[in-house]
Amino acid sequence: MQETVPRAGFRLGRNAVLALALIALSLVALPGHALAHAVAEGDKGYIQEITGIHFILFMYLGAKHMMTGYDHLLILAGVIFFLYRLNHIAIYVTLFAIGHSTTMILGVYYNIAISAYIIDAIIGLSVVYKALDNMGAYQRWFGFQPNTKAATFIFGLFHGFGLAAKVQEYQIAQDGLLTNLIAFNLGVELGQLLALGAILIAMSYWRRSEGFWRHAYTANVAMMSAGFILMGMHIAGYIKSLA
């Protein structure tokens, strides 16, 4: 059963979506790193100099990365946008966490090299997908509702590869690698819970206001536009990296 609140009254034509996509993708002329939440040079330099297990340090780095990862925060906001019951929120957030934990740890431990630009562009696409889902676009366009739980888990897998690409930039020493990766992942989960708490508090106040349903559509259009912009920026970065 779909746990989201019915999205009655939302209207967004395919031509409008295409126009937004073209506008965002036209940003390929801009620097691809403009919106990237890359690894801080200070953190990177310090990590490259140390070896062994540093559990607290890597937990901190994981939490810091999640709290400053606007793309991860956008998808979290999209996933819980129409979820009201805590058990439903817990199910979706757990699916997302399992997905990104799996691919983050495996990606780094087995040194699976995937372009960070490509992964981040797909993450931008996941933001677009969820915003459109929140607007009920798939039901109107195609006459069916995709499985939201499966989609959330798949989002998590791609977000995990994005985390792995960032962690690989640290060039962590092999000594204590698995333990440090687990610590980093725990930090990511802690950061995710803190971010989720802040989002839920803001959403709970907004939902009580009379303007929630008037502005929910606009909020999801803005979220979708942000996803298209992220896609454009990271595709630009990938093209420039090939030059």
What one-character-per-residue DSSP string does 16-48 give? HHHHHHHHHHGGGGS-TTTT--PPPHHHHHHHH
| Domain assignment present for 3 | no
| Domain assignment present for 75 | yes
| Domain assignment present for 206 | yes
| Domain assignment present for 184 | yes
Single pTM value for the model: 0.80
| Domain assignment present for 211 | yes
Question: What is the predicted pLDDT for the residue at 172?
Answer: 83
| Domain assignment present for 144 | yes
Question: What is the predicted pLDDT for the residue at 171?
Answer: 80
Question: What is the predicted pLDDT for the residue at 150?
Answer: 95
What is the domain range of residue 227? 56-242
Query: Is there a contact between 103 and 149 (Cβ–Cβ < 8 Å)?
Result: no
Number of domains in the chain: 1
pLDDT digit of tens for each residue in the chain (243 aa)? 445 444 444 455 555 455 445 544 444 444 444 444 555 666 667 777 788 888 998 899 888 888 878 888 889 899 999 998 889 999 999 999 999 999 999 998 888 888 889 999 999 999 999 999 999 899 889 888 899 999 999 999 999 998 888 888 778 888 888 898 999 999 999 999 999 999 999 888 888 888 888 888 888 999 999 999 999 999 998 898 887
| Domain assignment present for 34 | no
Question: What is the predicted pLDDT for the residue at 126?
Answer: 93
> DSSP of 85-132, one letter per residue?
SHHHHHHHHHHHHHHHHHHHHHHHHTT----HHHHHHHHHHHHHHHHH
Written as six digits, the tokens of 134 are 């929140």
